[in-house]
Amino acid sequence: MEPLLADAIQKSLNFLYTATALWFYAALFDLKSYYPRTLRVIHVLASINIVLFLAVVTRLMPYPATWVNLLYLGGMLLLLGISIRILRDRRYGNVLFIASLWVNGMPILPAILKNLGVPWAPSITIMDNLILWPLISLVLVTLGMVKFAKNEAEKKLLAKDLALRNSQESERILDQRVSERTQQLEQSNHRLKLEIAERETLHHQLQGALTRKRELMAAQRQFFAMASHEFRTPLAIIDATAQRLALSHELEAEQAARSEQAAEKLAESENASTTLNAMSKIRRATLRMSRMIDNFLNMDKLELVNVPDAITLELIDLRQLILANAEHYRSLTNHSINLDLPDNAVMVLCDPYMINLVISNLIDNAIKYSTMGTALEIALSEVKGQAQIQVRDAGSGIAADQLEKIFEKYFRGSDNKQIQGTGLGLHVSRKIAESHDGSLTVSSEVGIGSTLVFSLPLSESG
C-alpha cells in the first residue's frame, strides 16, 4: 500500500469514528422512542461521515481535514444538546451515559477548535487526551450498561411479580366465580327438583281429576241415553194420542156439520175447535221436549266425543228435509211458512239426524220469536259451492251487542225472558254446522226481524 493512501485511510477513520459515536449514543439515549426527529438528524450526519469515509478510501477526493473537524464538532455539539434535553426531561437513568459523553467529548473540543484556527482555543492536541479520557468514558459507559441491565432485570422481575400477582388474583377471582356459580347451580338444581316434584304432584292430581271427569262424563252420557229412552217413549205416546184425538174430533165436527139441528151443530163445532187447539198445544209441547232432549244429546256427543266419530255421513237432499220440517210445523202453528226452494235437488254429505235437528231448531226459533200473525220465510240456494239455508222471521230483532252471544250455551236474550227455551238450540246448531265444515250466522234489525243463515258444503258427487 502506498504511504499516502495508508495515511489517508488512517485519517479518514475519524469519519467512521464520528458516525459510530453518533449511532452509539443515539441507541444509548433511546432517541427512537423519545426524540424521533432528532434521531433523523443523527442519521443524516452519520451518513455524511460514512460517505466521506468511502470517498477518501476510494480516492474520489483527498482527505478533508477541515470537514473532519467540522463534522466531529457538529456531532459532539448535537449530542451535548441532546444530553442537556435528557436531563431537563428528568430521564436520570441516562446520567452515566451522559457523563461518559461529556468525559469523552469535552477534552477533545479544545483540540478541534485549535485545528479550526480559533484564536482563543487552548493549546491542546488530540494526542494529549488519547489514553485517560477515553478510558474514563469507557468505564462510565460500562457502569451505565450494568445499571441499565440491572434496571431491566428489575423491571422484568417486577413484571414477573406483577404477572404472578395478577395470575394469583385472576385465579382467586376465577375460584370465587366458580364457587358462586356452583352455588347458583346448586340452588337452581334444588329449585328445579322442587319444581319437578311440584309438577309431578300436579300431574298426578290432574290425572286424577281427568279420570274423575271421564267417569262423570261417562255417567252423564249414560244418564242422557237413559233419559232419552225414558222420555221418548211417553212423549211418543202423548203425541200419538193427541193426533188420534184430533182426528176423532175432526170426524165429530164433520158429522155435526151434517146434522139438521143448527144450534147443536154450532156448539159441537166450537167444542171441536177448542179441542183441536188443545191437541195442537199438546203436540207442540211434546215436540219441544223431544227437541230439547235431542239438543242435550247432541251437545254431549259433539263436546265429549271426537267429532268424526260422532257423525254418520249420508248423501241427502236438503230440499226434502226442509219440506218435511215445514209441513210438520205448519200443522203445529198459526204462522204461515213460505218456502223458496230450487227446482233441482241440493245434495250434501252430512249426518241426516243432526242436520234435521238444525233445521228444526231454526224454524222453531223463528216461530217462538215471531210476532203473532206474521209469516216465516225459508229459502234454499247454492252460493259458491255452498248450500245456503236462510230462515227469516218478523220478530222484534236482536240487539247488535247480542248477535254473537245468542250462540253461547244457555244464553237467553234480556228482552225474551218470558219466552220458553233452554238456550241450547242455536249453540248446538252452530256446533253441528262447524262439525260439518259449515257455518251458522245471524243478521238482525231491531223491530224488523232476524235472518239465520245455515251453510253446508255441496256434495261433489251430487
**Inter-residue contact 68 to 11 (CB < 8 Å):** yes
**What does the pLDDT read at residue 451?**
92
**What does the pLDDT read at residue 322?**
92
Q: List the domains of the chain with CATH numbers.
A: 3-130 (no CATH), 309-462 (3.30.565.10)
pLDDT in tens, 218-236: 776 666 666 655 665 666 6
**Inter-residue contact 361 to 425 (CB < 8 Å):** yes
**Inter-residue contact 455 to 433 (CB < 8 Å):** yes
- Residue 388 is inside which H or E element, if any? strand 386-392
**Inter-residue contact 451 to 391 (CB < 8 Å):** yes
With a cut of 90, say whether residue 427 has pLDDT above it.
Answer: no
Higher-pLDDT residue of 352, 460:
352
**What does the pLDDT read at residue 284?**
65
Residue where the block lists cell 495515511: 7
What is the rounded distance in angstroms from the CA atom of residue 233 to the CA atom of residue 408? 30
Query: pTM score, two decimals?
Result: 0.46
Mean pLDDT of the chain: 77
**DSSP bridge pairs for 444:** 450
Per mean pLDDT, which of 262-271, 320-329, 405-414 is the most reliable? Answer: 320-329
With a cut of 70, say whether residue 304 has pLDDT above it.
Answer: no
Confidence band of 392 (pLDDT split at 50, 70, 90):
very high
Confidence band of 86 (pLDDT split at 50, 70, 90):
confident
What is the rounded distance in angstroms from the CA atom of residue 71 to the CA atom of residue 51? 12
Percent of the chain predicted with pLDDT > 70:
67
Confidence band of 441 (pLDDT split at 50, 70, 90):
very high
Confidence band of 399 (pLDDT split at 50, 70, 90):
confident
pLDDT in tens, 101-129: 777 766 666 666 666 666 655 555 544 55
Closest CA to 409 of 427, 425, 433: 427
Query: What letter would DSSP give residue 379?
Result: E
State mean pLDDT over 246-265: 58
Higher-pLDDT residue of 345, 5:
345
pLDDT in tens, 371-387: 887 889 999 999 988 99
- Give the CA diameter of the chain: 186
